[in-house]
Amino acid sequence: MTISKQDIQKQNYFFEAEQSFESGIEEEIIELFTSSGKANPHDIDGLVDKISQNFLSINDANTDIEIDSLLGSFSNSKIPVKPANIKNYLKYLTNNVIDHSIHTSSPRFIGHMTSALPSFVLPLAKLMTAMNQNAVKIETAKSLSFCEREALAMMHRLIYNFSDNFYAQHIQNSQSTLGILLSGGTTANITALWCARNNSLGAKDGFGGVEEEGLTAALDFYGYKGAVIIGSELMHFSFDKAADLMGIGIQGLIRIPTNSNNQVDIQALREAVVKCHDQKLLIIGIIGVAGTTDSGGVDSIAEIAEIAQAAKVHFHVDAAWGGPLIFSEQHRHKLAGIERADSVTIDGHKQMYLPMGIGMVFFRDPDLAKAIEKQAAYTMRKGSFDLGKRALEGSRPGMALFLHAGLNLIGLKGYEFLIDEGIRKTQYMADKIFTMPEFELLAKPDTNLLIYRYIPESLRELVVKNNLTEIDNQLINQFNEKIQKIQRQSGRTFISRTTKTTICFDREIPIIALRAVIANPLTTKEDIDAVLSDQIQIAAEVSTVIS
Amino acid sequence: MTISKQDIQKQNYFFEAEQSFESGIEEEIIELFTSSGKANPHDIDGLVDKISQNFLSINDANTDIEIDSLLGSFSNSKIPVKPANIKNYLKYLTNNVIDHSIHTSSPRFIGHMTSALPSFVLPLAKLMTAMNQNAVKIETAKSLSFCEREALAMMHRLIYNFSDNFYAQHIQNSQSTLGILLSGGTTANITALWCARNNSLGAKDGFGGVEEEGLTAALDFYGYKGAVIIGSELMHFSFDKAADLMGIGIQGLIRIPTNSNNQVDIQALREAVVKCHDQKLLIIGIIGVAGTTDSGGVDSIAEIAEIAQAAKVHFHVDAAWGGPLIFSEQHRHKLAGIERADSVTIDGHKQMYLPMGIGMVFFRDPDLAKAIEKQAAYTMRKGSFDLGKRALEGSRPGMALFLHAGLNLIGLKGYEFLIDEGIRKTQYMADKIFTMPEFELLAKPDTNLLIYRYIPESLRELVVKNNLTEIDNQLINQFNEKIQKIQRQSGRTFISRTTKTTICFDREIPIIALRAVIANPLTTKEDIDAVLSDQIQIAAEVSTVIS
């Protein structure tokens, strides 16, 4: 629909007739706003749909454009004076941004925790934006606040499985917080530890608590010499951020070694807890990892729960990646004990197949998040249903729509299928790698992350005999780094890389590993075979250069 | 497009023929994924478009449904076992969620900082979700990382206006951070203060810095007795969160009184700075507010800059709301001095008319954010272009697309028009209120926020004579709270409320104010008149109850 100047004036959108504006700007801008809700002018919606569909239909992981040549296209620091023509802008966007974006939904992009999404999220994204609710408060998100609480309660029940009565009491009780929806797993983890810290160092006997009086005073009041967070050395780097931000310092993040299955060493963890108690250090939280970022390993949650409970310490499970294993009858047992966690992080944008920007933290005790509650006169009233009163974030979008839709449109059985399939496919890839002389499997996959590496031909016999020197290992590392970089650059397929350490002659040796993450339900055996063939082909090119 | 069972098997999506799944689940789920990028089955896209258009066409602020009756519709804590039919789910969503959502884009919803959006954001939302980039790292957001840097540089230049040379050097330099895009103004403010704190208490002479060794050790090493943040008493409540989270405690948030224009008292601020220095307290940052949340007041930024510079303290401007005044030749002067701020917060989802979920923080010094840099082996490599290496958040969506599009499709002149119009309309409303006996204007509007209150007839003469007692004032407060609640509930129009304090006989008296926020370019004089008429009509009903 195009609006004429007369229409616009008739509507009285402009408050002054005489204008200091360059002619035409007013009409152009008002047209941008009045066409919302109606079909866009020049069928922009249809055009963008076509661009989206085209993007999603490409099988390659990326184009092979070099970073250096991309940079040059984004060197304009001046905002255009006048509004650009939308069709021209879309052409620009297509050529410069969309064409060189990563095909995270490609079945051959199996290197990161971002994969294909179900189709219903596309129209819902438009709907969510049209609704433009602000979930911070009831006055800007009425039904959506309750819808969010319902979706979070469903997830809470999946984890904790309390009684009907419990959920009837808390699901829509403004004083209860079963979970908080936020932008991602990092802020979820930080929020969990913030609650834990404030709860351990609360107001008491005239002391205002850490929230009011700060960390130094609070530790002093409670008789602690310092504060720490304890977890596996494979904890996500969001815990570094938490320790830094909360003022305990990264050296207060105690990293316990892991066993060969990438699980925290339980005995060492137990000893660390005792040592902290002896040294009068407050343990803000013990972290269990359900799906390490680098290899998918799941800690022995039940054993950690036991330790935390005995020590009366907050137990947080970072299940950002691995949480959805709970949907699977076959794999749920790997998370056994998660129901004993005081708080749990799960990401919606990882194994729940929802768009980027959905983190969640759940609390065993619906009162725990009171420890971070804030109020403000212009909003966030005490006793209200305003979701922002207990949150790290303020204004935030209605991402709950996606979560609610995912739970309803995929369902328990649908999620179970997705989880089981990913693990089955990973097993296929692991078996395949195991039989191929070109590759070495670096760990038996626990879930759907797989780490392995390419071995140059001259060293394969030594690998079989377990006879590699440190120099050999360095050479293999160089080789694998090179393979991964070339693979990423050429863009046909994608596998990421990480660095593992192994102990050899009492020394820590770094091992560069190729890292597959298989979550895309559209990835076939042929795709997995193609990814491995691509690496072998690249390795042949690398050989001629390095050897 | 519907996919037959044979098609799916041909594609080898399933890795095992024998299934433990209930029949049909596999096909249903795979169909959800394979239809992405193609038209959705049963024309779901068209259906959702219609739902969105219908939502956007409604002029009322909300339905009049009672909270208590809404609650009942969201009491299901069990995830459905099987996937729901999408059409049925959309019907459910429409009846329960969409119908009772807030019409934030209604021209008569003029009470919060959320208003109408330009139409291009709707198709872009779908595109962004289809692309599903993860802006945390280059490997999941290639061109988009550079596009984001470009858009942030444009905003940086608007604020700081450094030379061409400066931008050429930093715009695409992996070691430079001109700004960080994040989910909202709260996390932007926290990030700014986190950088400031870490920068003030950095590593030195063998000491690891606050990041490594924590706040207590750092203050001790640098010889401080504590740490504070100083700003106006009208600072946003995100600073309470920052003070709490960072371990300095909310009592470390020094709130300086404001003058009758809602601006921080400069003399009191100066004295507070001196006092902190005398008491050996580290001032992490001095905050200037450019657009207070409750009334839109803008601090005297240049004078605060002077104080901060003389005291060698980090100066942060929270321009989440007011920042875009800089687009306007007529109103830019209100922000004079903002270019001297060390960091500035601006929200994209407020006066830049972009969807919810876009906060930004800008840094004068492109090196400052190094103070919070983190690395991880599986991602975030040093020296890389990974945007997540200096960020509070981890995985996050490609919201930069909206920012880049807004700057290009609205442009400098378009934003200027939007800002100027909002302020003009607010002036109209203020003038109107001033002439109406029913209302009292509580402050001359500085920008496009307006606070006023209704005065019951029996008290109007006393107001004119400035002769209200405290009891009278309490009655007026009750009256206005009631009006706002009924207005919100009836849903025809919407104005928010806040509580101001005024000093009377040396006592703080709370004044409940009605609060208008006028940013919707489609709001007409008739809409403003209708909002005021609605209040007068509601007041008549309230009168019969209270009197």
User: Quick one: pLDDT at residue B17?
Assistant: 44
CATH number, domain with residue A195 = 3.40.640.10
Whether residue A69 sits in one domain with residue A24: no
Show the 3-state SS of A189-221.
Answer: HHHHHHHHHHHHCCCECCECCHHHHCHHHHHHH
Nearest by CB: B374 against A33, A112, A240? A240
Q: Where a domain ends, among B56, B84, B102? A: B102
Angle at B544 between CA B539 and CA B546, to 5 degrees: 85
User: Quick one: pLDDT at residue A547?
Assistant: 52
Q: Where a domain ends, among A318, A348, A378? A: A348
Tell whether A316 is covered by a domain: yes
Q: Which of A352-361, A373-382, A460-469, B312-321 has the lowest mean pLDDT?
A: A373-382
Predicted confidence band at B260 (pLDDT cuts at 50, 70, 90)?
A: confident
B102–A38 CB contact, under 8 Å: no
pLDDT one-digit tens code per residue, B170-228: 999 999 999 999 999 999 999 999 999 999 999 999 999 999 999 999 999 999 999 99
> 3-state class of A420 per DSSP?
helix
- Model confidence pTM above 0.90: yes
Q: CB B459: neighbour CB atoms within 10 A?
A: 18
User: Quick one: pLDDT at residue B42?
Assistant: 59
Whether residue A302 sits in one domain with residue A209: yes
Report ipTM (2 d.p.): 0.95
Whether residue B402 sits in one domain with residue B259: yes
Residues of chain B positioned with their CB less than 8 A from the CB of A218: 249
Tell whether A155 is covered by a domain: no
> How many inter-chain contacts (A to B, CB under 8 Å) are there?
636
User: Quick one: pLDDT at residue B19?
Assistant: 46
- Interval B525-544 mean pLDDT: 94
Predicted confidence band at B90 (pLDDT cuts at 50, 70, 90)?
A: very high
For tokens 């972009």, the residue is B354
User: Quick one: pLDDT at residue A38?
Assistant: 52
Predicted confidence band at B30 (pLDDT cuts at 50, 70, 90)?
A: very high
B21–A417 CB contact, under 8 Å: yes
> 3-state class of B284 per DSSP?
strand
In Å, how far are A354, B66, B241 from A212, measured between CA atoms?
37, 36, 11
The secondary element (H helix, E strand) that includes residue A44 is: helix A44-56
Looking at the complex, report in whole angstroms how far the Cα of residue A460 sits from the nearest Cα belonging to chain B.
26
- Interval B236-241 mean pLDDT: 97
Tell whether A403 is covered by a domain: no
Nearest by CB: B522 against A13, A26, A153? A13
- Interval B68-83 mean pLDDT: 95
| Count: domains in chain A | 4
Sign of CA dihedral A43, A48, A50, A51: positive
Tell whether B338 is covered by a domain: yes
Residues of chain A positioned with their CB less than 8 A from the CB of B488: 139
User: Quick one: pLDDT at residue A23?
Assistant: 65
In Å, how far are A35, A373, B204, B291, B345 from B359, measured between CA atoms?
26, 22, 32, 15, 7
Whether residue B358 sits in one domain with residue B325: yes
pLDDT one-digit tens code per residue, A28-65: 999 999 865 455 555 899 999 999 999 999 999 999 99
A56–B83 CB contact, under 8 Å: no
pLDDT one-digit tens code per residue, A157-188: 999 999 999 999 999 999 999 999 999 999 99
pLDDT one-digit tens code per residue, B296-316: 999 999 999 999 999 999 999
Residues of chain B positioned with their CB less than 8 A from the CB of A164: 77
Residues of chain A positioned with their CB less than 8 A from the CB of B99: 143
Predicted confidence band at A11 (pLDDT cuts at 50, 70, 90)?
A: low
User: Quick one: pLDDT at residue A159?
Assistant: 98
For the cut 60, the answer to whether the pLDDT of residue A219 exceeds it is yes
User: Quick one: pLDDT at residue A13?
Assistant: 64
CA–CA gap between residue A189 and residue A263 (Å, rounded) = 19
Q: Which residues, including other chains, have CB under 8 Å from residue B190's CB and lie 6 or more apart?
A: A245, A392, B238, B241, B242, B245, B246, B392
Q: Where a domain ends, among A71, A102, A133? A: A102
- Interval B42-61 mean pLDDT: 91
pLDDT one-digit tens code per residue, A395-440: 999 999 999 999 999 999 999 999 999 999 999 999 999 999 999 9
Q: Which residues, including other chains, have CB under 8 Å from residue B235's CB and lie 6 or more apart?
A: B253, B255, B287, B289, B292, B318
Tell whether B108 is covered by a domain: no
The secondary element (H helix, E strand) that includes residue B285 is: strand B281-289
CA–CA gap between residue B538 and residue B547 (Å, rounded) = 14
CA–CA gap between residue B514 and residue B486 (Å, rounded) = 13
User: Quick one: pLDDT at residue B493?
Assistant: 97
For the cut 90, the answer to whether the pLDDT of residue A345 exceeds it is yes
Question: Can you list the alpha helix ranges (DSSP code H) found in B12-160?
Answer: 25-34, 44-56, 67-71, 86-93, 121-131, 142-160
User: Quick one: pLDDT at residue A17?
Assistant: 44
pLDDT one-digit tens code per residue, A77-107: 999 999 999 999 999 999 999 999 999 999 9
CA–CA gap between residue A198 and residue B245 (Å, rounded) = 9
User: Quick one: pLDDT at residue A37?
Assistant: 46
- Interval A5-19 mean pLDDT: 52
A379–B293 CB contact, under 8 Å: yes
% of chain B surpassing 90 pLDDT: 86
Residues of chain A positioned with their CB less than 8 A from the CB of B47: 123
Q: CB B72: neighbour CB atoms within 10 A?
A: 9
> 3-state class of B309 per DSSP?
helix
Tell whether B162 is covered by a domain: yes
Question: Can you list the alpha helix ranges (DSSP code H) found in A223-265?
Answer: 238-245
For the cut 60, the answer to whether the pLDDT of residue B8 exceeds it is no
Whether residue A339 sits in one domain with residue A439: no
Whether residue A211 sits in one domain with residue A344: yes
A396–B55 CB contact, under 8 Å: no
> Residue B266 belongs to what domain range?
129-410
For the cut 90, the answer to whether the pLDDT of residue B379 exceeds it is no
- Interval B493-500 mean pLDDT: 94
- Interval B487-506 mean pLDDT: 89
Whether residue A59 sits in one domain with residue A32: no
For the cut 70, the answer to whether the pLDDT of residue B38 exceeds it is no
User: Quick one: pLDDT at residue A3?
Assistant: 43
Whether residue A341 sits in one domain with residue A432: no
CA–CA gap between residue A541 and residue A534 (Å, rounded) = 11
Residues of chain A positioned with their CB less than 8 A from the CB of B375: 237
Q: Which of A283-292, B38-47, B451-460 has the lowest mean pLDDT?
A: B38-47
CA–CA gap between residue A427 and residue A418 (Å, rounded) = 14
Q: What is the mean pLDDT of chain A?
A: 93
DSSP A2: -
Tell whether A234 is covered by a domain: yes
Nearest chain A residue to B136 by CA: give it: A356
DSSP A65: -
Residue of B230, B151, B158 whose CA lies nearest to B193: B230
Residues of chain A positioned with their CB less than 8 A from the CB of B480: none
Whether residue B227 sits in one domain with residue B160: yes
Tell whether A112 is covered by a domain: no
User: Quick one: pLDDT at residue B491?
Assistant: 96
pLDDT one-digit tens code per residue, A198-214: 999 999 999 999 999 99
B143–A97 CB contact, under 8 Å: yes
CATH number, domain with residue B419 = 3.90.1150.10
For the cut 90, the answer to whether the pLDDT of residue A113 exceeds it is yes
Whether residue A329 sits in one domain with residue A290: yes
Predicted confidence band at A377 (pLDDT cuts at 50, 70, 90)?
A: low
Identify which of A204-208, A376-380, B23-27 has the greatest average pLDDT: A204-208
Sign of CA dihedral B121, B125, B130, B132: positive
Whether residue A520 sits in one domain with residue A504: yes
pLDDT one-digit tens code per residue, A444-495: 898 999 999 999 999 999 999 989 999 999 999 999 999 999 999 999 999 9
% of chain B surpassing 70 pLDDT: 93
User: Quick one: pLDDT at residue B3?
Assistant: 43
In Å, how far are A441, A518, A527, B133, B139 from A102, measured between CA atoms?
27, 16, 17, 7, 7
The secondary element (H helix, E strand) that includes residue A308 is: helix A301-311
> 3-state class of B304 per DSSP?
helix
Looking at the complex, report in whole angstroms how far the Cα of residue B494 sits from the nearest Cα belonging to chain A.
9
pLDDT one-digit tens code per residue, B410-469: 999 999 999 999 999 999 999 999 999 999 999 889 899 999 999 999 999 999 998 999
User: Quick one: pLDDT at residue A266?
Assistant: 98
Nearest by CB: B526 against A12, A52, A396? A12
Whether residue B490 sits in one domain with residue B446: yes
CA–CA gap between residue B301 and residue B242 (Å, rounded) = 21
